[in-house]
């Protein structure tokens, strides 16, 4: 079942359950997908990879919005953003833990033969391709810096 079909099914279930918050979050995800499909030059149906990138982008936006709302004392808005983030994360693959990510990055670094911070670009190029959808780019970058600096 494609992501779009899964979301349609979940929208129907949320309507039946009269869950307004979840319904709003699901409709938001569906509208992002439809918007991406209708963009000029886009394929009629998004690839699974494109869908994951879209969801990762949406999750990042929700996370940043929630942080901004919290720092400005708007807890009710932050709570709404975090709820939408939870709904979005249901459709994303399970994220790697920091230890799993660190060991995978160490493998990539040894495979490439990177020796120091000057090789960060090479490592990031390979790491972002291999770990797409499994880890946040910011986390990957931080860990690569730490590993290459030591």
> How far apart are alpha carbons 74 and 66 in whole angstroms?
9
pLDDT for residue 72: 94
pLDDT for residue 42: 65
pLDDT for residue 63: 92
With 0-12 / 13-18 / 19 or more C-beta atoms within 10 angstroms meaning exposed / middle / buried, residue 135 is buried
pLDDT for residue 130: 83
pLDDT for residue 43: 66
pLDDT for residue 11: 94
- State the DSSP string of 23-71: HHHHHHHHHHHHHHHHSTT--SS--HHHHHHHHHHHHHHHHHHHHHHHH
Residues in the chain with pLDDT values less than 50: none
pLDDT for residue 71: 95
pLDDT for residue 109: 87
Q: Give the fold, CATH level 3, of 98-149.
A: Arc Repressor Mutant, subunit A (1.10.10)
| Domain spans, the chain | 3-89, 98-149
- Does domain 3-89 correspond to CATH entry 3.40.50.720? no
């Amino acid at each position: 079942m494609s992501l779009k079909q899964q979301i349609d099914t979940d929208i129907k279930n949320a309507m039946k359950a009269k869950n307004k918050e979840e319904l709003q979050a699901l409709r938001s995800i569906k509208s992002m997908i439809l918007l991406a499909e209708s963009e000029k030059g886009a394929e009629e149906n998004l690839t699974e990879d494109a869908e994951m990138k879209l969801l990762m982008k949406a999750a990042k936006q929700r996370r940043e919005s929630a942080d901004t709302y919290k720092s400005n004392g708007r807890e009710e808005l932050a709570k709404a953003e975090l709820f939408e983030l939870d709904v979005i994360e249901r459709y994303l693959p399970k994220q790697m833990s920091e230890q799993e990510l660190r060991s995978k990055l160490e493998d990539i670094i040894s495979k490439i033969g990177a020796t120091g911070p000057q090789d960060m670009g090479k490592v990031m190029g390979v790491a972002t391709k291999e770990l797409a959808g499994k880890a946040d780019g910011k986390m990957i970058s931080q860990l690569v810096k730490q590993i290459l600096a030591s």
